[in-house]
A and B are shown apart, each in its own frame.
Chain A
Amino acid sequence: MKLHTSKTRATKAINRIKRVVILGNPNSGKTSLFNRLTGLHQKVANYPGVTVEKKAGKIRGGQVMIEDLPGTYSLLPQSEDERIVAQTVQSWRIAEHKPDAVIVVIDITNLEKNIYLALQILEWCLPTLLVFNMIDVARKKGLLFDLNVFKSRLNPDALVATSAKTGEGIEEVRNVIVQLVESKKAENQNPILLKIDDRLRPVQDLVTLIQNYRGQLNFSPLIDSLRLIASDANLEILDGLLTGPQISLIKEEVNRAREVFHYQGINYQSLEATLRYDFIENDLLPLIQKSEKFDISLSERVDHVLTHPVVGMFIFISVLGFIFNSIFSWAEYPMDIIEGAITWVGLSIAQSMQDSTFKNLIIDGVIAGVGNVIVFLPQIILLVFFLGVLEDSGYMARMSFLMDNLMNRIGLHGKSVLPLLSGFACAIPAILSSRTIEDRRDRLIVIMLIPLLSCSARLPVYTLLISAFVPHKILFGFLQLQGLVLIATYFLGLLTALFIAFIIKNIIRRENPFHFMMELPPYRLPLIRSLWWRVYDSSKLFLINAGSIILAMSVILWFLASYPVNENKNLSSTQKLEQSFAGQFGHFIEPIIEPLGFNWKIGVGLISSFAAREVLVSTFATLYNVEAHDKNETMLPLKEAMRNDRKRDETPVYTTLVALSLLVFFVYAAQCMSTFAIIRRETNSWKWPVVMLLYMNAIAYFASLIIYQGGCWLGKV
């Protein structure tokens, strides 16, 4: 396994801050605890493995840095994020990589499964704090146990019962950590936390051999031996620590041990798991008593309805429909208010400042550009909020359960549902959340499909085009035509993604896939606290984006649209715009995009939206404002300005057909620099981001071509 030697060394040299690592199963409440301790805000979820990035935060009121590792069930990894945890733990063999303390979070209501990882960590013999989390739920369930007995049996340095939900025990955890990082632990006494019996006899020779390399390997020879025998993949552990001849010697012994196991009929691959569960059953489970009041929980009753083949499917579709409908209708009022405020600010500045180039820059560049993007904040808040509720409540996991069969038919599986749905918010976190997919090829396919889903950055473009060019009509008394078109737009991306997945499935056949298996966590009421931080984080990100990339793009575009200044007074404002740098470039690409119904102004927008899609809106705002400004017209709302835009022959630039063609183009086109960058990082190659760029833009071009040319042809017929 690769050790990040140079990086860690560098950080060590810079600070003397103590380092603490936090580990735990998915859904153990690890991330909530991390948030409580650090105040650094991060996703909390009910879905296995949402904590895909390694995050760190300074503990409140202490010189301690806590690293939050992805949730994992075991140190023998199956997925990308589990691999991150395994590599981190393996790096502890080298003294300078050792953290000053380790926290293992255990969901005490599910000790049997949660304690497994804790046992594996305790064997590393670092200052260790075990946290029995969800103590509030355990009390309600009537679980009885004595912390002191557990402490004497497992021998951690500290053991605290907490509830990350109510805050119980958090203060104690904080105090314990501050003390723990200062403590020095006697080394080389790795405890053995599995059942020891005759089944271990064939390992003995290997243990004796590995004992000799104790100084290099720095870990329990027994556990190392078990893992080396279990799988050849674990031989990586030795790389860089031992010499070639030493490793060959070990390999020989490993093979000999396997033969003996084989002869005795003992399954050596899962021997560690078997012996550990024997230990858990014999030594730990008797320490917890369940009180009599045992019945089918509320969670199970709720689940019965929500995953019902008919009712459940109906609820699933209704929930999605409700979310998309409310994003469009609820956001309308706050959006109107923001729009009004921006216009007011623009007008106030127009009145209070003297005419100058700087004034033009502020009004036509900054306010028009940034302002028209900020308008979409309410929609993004709603979307992030709803996705958060789905995840934190545990319903997202049921969506995967319900959809797995259908997803399987197109070669994906239930775990792809979360990344794909997150793609509706933003491709960046969606691509990161795909790390929970075990199979690399499955993951790659999902990554390539995510950008086809309409992210929230496309929403501003959709909203603008739909509200400007789709008539405000009510169908069947309650369905808004505009809302329907929006839903159809979203479905277009989704169905295309599913169709492509289906094609890929039939081209590439696979053997021995790692199958979908997923914990279904109990339903929980989402914590307002965690929802708030989700919304806060993504709003902040959106506004920072608006204040940086979009601001810069707006200023550049304003410049390109305003210069070179033509002093000829007889030219109309439109002619001036056409002669600007932006206009010239728009004209340059016009022949290519004309068959799609796009003029040079849209061309300018398309180019600028490669920074981020919502830049299209600010580009249009800037372009139309420069034009209106030159005509000495007052600033019109952008929709109006676009509707009023005329070609030279006085026909409208935007017909509903052009708007549809543009809408479809935006559904398909790969336009986001950040997505390109993240795919480069996650796939570790230039090939896949380039493939994405080419295939998506090809689809975009031909789909728009078909829409526009087909529409024109139908119009003539």
Chain B
Amino acid sequence: MSEFSLTQLKKGESGVISKFDSEDANTMRLKEMGLHSGVSVRLIKFAPFGDPLEIKIRGFHLSLRRAIAEKIFVIKKIKRE
């Protein structure tokens, strides 16, 4: 099972967060919102021009820029749609 960044998920795919590649104010806030290792995340869609992206995690929708999402690593879980 390989690890890759959140941005490499395709629309509708889910993964489990495995690690954060950096620690700064951005990731700090994400952790306070409940993005931790072991939590499953689903990529809902990309905005026009591919940035930002929308994810669903712990039952709510969050919009993130690629620059942050690239630092979040996931393990792919199930393929949907």
- A residues contacting B by CB (< 8 A) are 73-74, 76, 78, 109-110, 112-113, 116, 267, 269-270, 273-274, 277, 280, 300, 304, 307, 309, 312-313, 397, 400-402, 404-406, 408, 413-414, 438, 512, 514-522
Contact = CB atoms under 8 A, between A and B. Distances in A.
A397 B60 CA distance: 14
A270 B31 contact: yes
For the complex of A and B, the 8 pairs showing the least CB-CB separation, nearest first, are A520-B61, A309-B48, A273-B31, A405-B49, A270-B31, A74-B32, A112-B58, A515-B65
Interface string B26-40: 111111111010000
A638 to B, nearest CB: 45
B63 A518 contact: yes
A401 B30 contact: no
A478 B5 CA distance: 50
Given A269-B23, A519-B60, A116 B34 contact: yes
Contacts of A521: 61
A517 B26 contact: yes
Nearest to A514: B25
A516 B52 contact: yes
A517 B64 contact: yes
A554 to B, nearest CB: 48
A516 B33 contact: no
Interface in B1-43: 23-34, 36
Contacts of A309: 47-49
B18 to A, nearest CB: 14
Given A273-B31, A518-B63, A307 B51 contact: no
Nearest to A112: B58
Contacts of B27: 270
B34 A112 contact: yes
A339 B49 CA distance: 48
A405 B47 contact: yes
Contacts of B78: none
A498 B61 CA distance: 28
A514 B26 contact: yes
B29 to A, nearest CB: 6
Interface residues of B, number: 32
8 contacts: A76-B32, A116-B33, A269-B23, A270-B28, A401-B54, A402-B47, A514-B25, A517-B26
Given A73-B32, A405-B52, A307 B45 contact: yes
Contacts of A520: 54, 61-63
B63 A414 contact: yes
A274 B63 contact: no
B67 A113 contact: no
A78 B64 CA distance: 16
A514 B24 CA distance: 9
Contacts of B31: 270, 273-274, 277
B70 to A, nearest CB: 11
A438 B64 CA distance: 14
Contacts of B32: 73-74, 76, 116, 270, 273
Interface of B: 23-34, 36, 44-45, 47-52, 54, 58-65, 67-68
A313 B60 CA distance: 23
A515 B67 contact: yes
B76 to A, nearest CB: 21
Contacts of A512: 24
B48 A402 contact: yes
Nearest to A278: B36
A273 B30 CA distance: 9
A519 B65 contact: no
B42 to A, nearest CB: 11
Given A401-B54, A517-B30, A519-B60, 7 more contacts: A273-B31, A400-B63, A402-B48, A405-B50, A516-B64, A516-B65, A521-B61
Contacts of B61: 519-522
A273 B50 CA distance: 30
Contacts of A397: 63
B10 to A, nearest CB: 15
B62 A519 contact: yes
A277 B34 contact: yes
B62 A518 contact: yes
B46 to A, nearest CB: 8
B63 to A, nearest CB: 5
B51 A405 contact: yes
A269 B28 contact: yes
Given A274-B31, A414-B52, A307 B36 contact: no
Contacts of A110: 58-60
Contacts of B25: 78, 438, 514
Nearest to A518: B63
Nearest to B24: A512
A74 B32 CA distance: 7
A277 B39 CA distance: 10
Contact of A113 (B23, B34, B52): B34
A71 to B, nearest CB: 13
B19 to A, nearest CB: 10
A413 B54 CA distance: 15
A76 B28 contact: yes
Contacts of A300: 44
B54 A515 contact: no
B65 A401 contact: no
Given A408-B65, A516-B63, A517-B65, A78 B29 contact: yes
Nearest to A300: B44
A164 B44 CA distance: 29
B59 to A, nearest CB: 6
A399 B66 CA distance: 18
A518 B51 CA distance: 13
